[in-house]
C-alpha cells in the first residue's frame, strides 16, 4: 500500500498519477488524510492522558509516604477517571487505525511515469515483437481439438471429476507438461534464481501482504473452516517469506524461483475466448520473485524481461511484449510488461507472462525493510514474473508446431520429454 507520509507530502502528485488508472482518488485520499489527522489527535490525547495518570500515580505514592492519605485518595479518584478515559481513547484510536488501514488497502499503486494512459487492453503499448508466425496448412486445429485428437488432455474427464476448468493431462500431454516445468526451473536456476518449494495454501496475512486481499478476494478459493486460501500464484507464498523481515544491504539481490499449481475462480469468464487451456481454474506456473534495493529494481526488471525473452526464443514461439496501460495495470503494480505468444490456429495473441515491479507497495504491507548505510530502516522493492505460465505456452506449442501427421516437440524440450513428436 502507499505510505502515509508520501500521501501527506505528495497528495496532489499521487492524485494526478492515479488518473492514469482512470481513478478519481480525491475522495479516498481526503478520507485518508482526515482519518490520519483524527488518529494522530487521538494518539496525542491518549499519550497526554497516560502521562498525566503516571504523574499522578507517582504523586499518590509520595503522599502516602508522607501520611497524607486523604489527599492521596482524592488523586486516586482522579486517576480512576483518567484510566477510564484512556481506555475509551485507546478503543477510539484502534477503531480509527483499523478504518485508516482499510482505506489505504483500497488505493492502488501509483503507476510508473512510463506507463501509458488508457482504459483497456486495447491501449497497451507493444514495445517488442519477435518470431515468424508459422503458415499452417488448411484444416489446422485449435489446441482443444488437437488435445482430443491425440488424447493428451481430457477436458470432459476433468469436468466429471471436479468441474469445468480442471483438465486432466494424459500420456504425452502429462509428460510435456512435466518437461516444461523442469525446463523452466532449470533455466531460472541457471540464471541465478534459487529454487524453492512453498505451501499451496496461505493465511489471510499472506494474502494481504502481497495485495491479493482484499482486491482479488472474489477470485481466490477460500477454505472457511481453516481460514486459508488456495494460492493464485507462487508470488504470494514466496514473497511472504520476507514479511516482517529486516534485511541488510548485502542481502541484495534476493532471487527465488518456484513451481506451484495455481487456483483462480475466474468468476464471470465465459465464451469462446476461454475455451480449452485459455482460461483455467487450476493451472501450473513457474514463478520468479526478486527483492531488490530500490536503486536497482528497474535494472532487475529489465533483466527479468530479458530472461523470459531467452526462454521464448529457445522454444521458438512468436511472441510480443506489451507495456500495460494504466487502465489494464494490476492493482499492486507500478509497471508491468506482458508477454504474449501467437496462437496460429486461434489467430490471436495469448498472454503467457506478466513481469512487474511493485516498488515499495508490497513491501509496505509486508513490513519488508532493509538497513541502509546509515543504519536507517528503508522499504525494499519487490518484483515478480511468470517464467512461465504453462497452459497458454502449451497451447502455443500444440498449435504452432502441429503438422499433418502429428505435433513436433520444440528441440530444447526433447531431452526433457524423451520424445520428439506427439502422434
Binding-site residues for ATP, in ranges, read 264-266, 351-354
DSSP-assigned letters across all residues of 29-59: HHHHHHHHHHHHHHHHHHHHHHHHHHHHHHH
Nine-digit cell string for 199: 505451501
- Which distant-in-sequence residues (6+ apart) come within 8 Å of 296 by Cβ? 252, 253, 381
Question: Which residue has cell 524453492?
Answer: 196
Q: Can you tell me the distance from the alpha carbon of 152 to that of 289, in angstroms, rounded to the nearest whole number?
A: 31
Return the H-helix or E-strand segment holding 398.
Answer: helix 390-400
Other Cβ atoms within 10 Å of 196 Cβ, number: 15
Residue whose entry in the numeric block shows the C-alpha cell 483518567: 82
The answer to whether residues 237 and 199 touch, using CB atoms and an 8 Å cutoff, is: yes
Cα dihedral 289, 290, 291, 297, rounded to 10, equals -140
**Edge to edge, what strands does the sheet with 228-230 contain?**
201-203, 228-230, 222-223
* Numbered residues of the known binding site: 233, 264-266, 287, 351-354, 384
DSSP state of 388: E
The set of cell numbers assigned to 265 is 475462480
CA distances from 285 to 134, 372, 385 (A): 26, 34, 10
User: Where is the binding site for L-serine, in residues?
Assistant: 233, 264, 287, 384
H or E stretch at 261: strand 254-263
Amino acid at each position: 500500500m502507499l505510505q502515509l507520509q508520501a500521501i501527506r507530502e505528495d497528495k496532489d502528485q499521487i492524485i494526478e498519477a492515479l488518473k492514469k488508472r482512470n481513478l478519481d482518488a480525491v475522495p479516498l485520499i481526503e478520507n485518508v488524510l482526515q482519518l490520519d489527522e483524527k488518529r494522530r489527535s487521538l494518539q496525542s490525547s491518549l499519550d497526554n492522558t497516560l502521562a498525566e495518570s503516571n504523574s499522578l500515580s507517582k504523586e499518590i505514592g509520595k503522599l502516602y509516604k508522607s501520611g497524607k492519605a486523604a489527599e492521596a485518595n482524592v488523586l486516586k479518584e482522579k486517576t480512576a477517571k483518567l484510566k477510564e478515559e484512556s481506555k475509551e481513547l485507546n478503543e477510539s484510536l484502534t477503531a480509527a487505525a483499523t478504518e485508516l488501514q482499510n482505506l489505504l488497502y483500497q488505493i492502488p499503486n501509483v503507476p510508473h511515469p512510463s506507463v501509458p494512459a488508457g482504459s483497456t487492453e486495447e491501449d497497451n503499448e507493444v514495445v517488442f515483437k519477435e518470431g515468424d508466425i508459422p503458415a499452417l496448412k488448411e484444416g489446422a486445429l485449435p489446441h482443444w481439438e488437437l488435445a482430443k485428437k491425440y488424447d493428451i488432455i481430457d477436458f470432459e474427464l476433468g469436468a466429471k471429476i471436479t468441474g469445468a476448468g480442471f483438465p486432466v493431462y494424459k500420456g504425452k500431454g502429462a509428460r510435456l507438461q512435466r518437461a516444461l516445468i523442469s525446463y523452466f526451473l532449470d533455466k531460472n536456476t541457471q540464471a541465478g534464481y534459487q529454487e524453492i518449494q512453498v505451501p499451496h495454501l496461505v493465511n489471510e496475512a499472506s494474502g494481504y501482504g502481497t495485495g491479493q486481499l482484499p482486491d482479488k478476494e472474489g477470485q481466490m478459493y477460500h477454505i472457511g473452516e481453516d481460514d486459508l486460501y488456495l494460492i493464485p500464484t507462487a508470488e504470494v507464498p514466496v514473497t511472504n517469506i520476507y514479511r516482517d523481515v529486516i534485511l541488510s544491504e548485502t542481502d541484495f539481490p534476493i532471487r527465488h524461483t518456484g513451481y506451484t499449481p495455481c487456483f483462480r475462480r475466474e468468476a464471470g469468464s465465459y465464451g469462446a475466448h476461454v475455451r480449452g487451456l485459455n482460461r483455467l481454474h487450476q493451472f501450473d506456473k513457474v514463478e520468479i520473485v526478486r527483492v531488490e534495493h530500490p536503486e536497482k529494481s528497474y535494472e532487475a526488471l529489465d533483466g527479468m524481461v530479458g530472461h523470459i525473452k531467452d526462454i521464448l526464443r529457445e522454444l521458438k514461439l512468436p511472441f510480443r511484449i506489451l507495456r500495460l496501460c494504466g487502465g489494464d495495470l494490476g492493482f499492486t503494480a507500478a509497471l508491468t510488461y506482458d508477454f504474449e505468444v501467437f496462437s496460429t490456429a486461434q489467430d490471436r495473441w495469448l498472454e503467457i507472462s506478466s513481469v512487474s515491479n511493485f516498488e515499495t507497495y508490497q513491501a509496505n504491507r509486508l513490513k519488508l525493510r532493509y538497513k541502509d548505510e546509515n543504519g536507517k530502516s528503508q522499504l525494499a522493492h519487490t518484483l515478480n514474473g511468470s517464467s512461465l505460465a504453462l497452459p497458454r505456452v502449451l497451447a502455443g506449442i500444440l498449435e504452432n508446431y502441429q503438422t499433418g501427421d502429428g505435433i513436433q516437440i520444440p528441440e530444447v524440450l526433447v531431452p526433457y520429454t524423451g520424445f520428439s513428436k506427439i502422434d
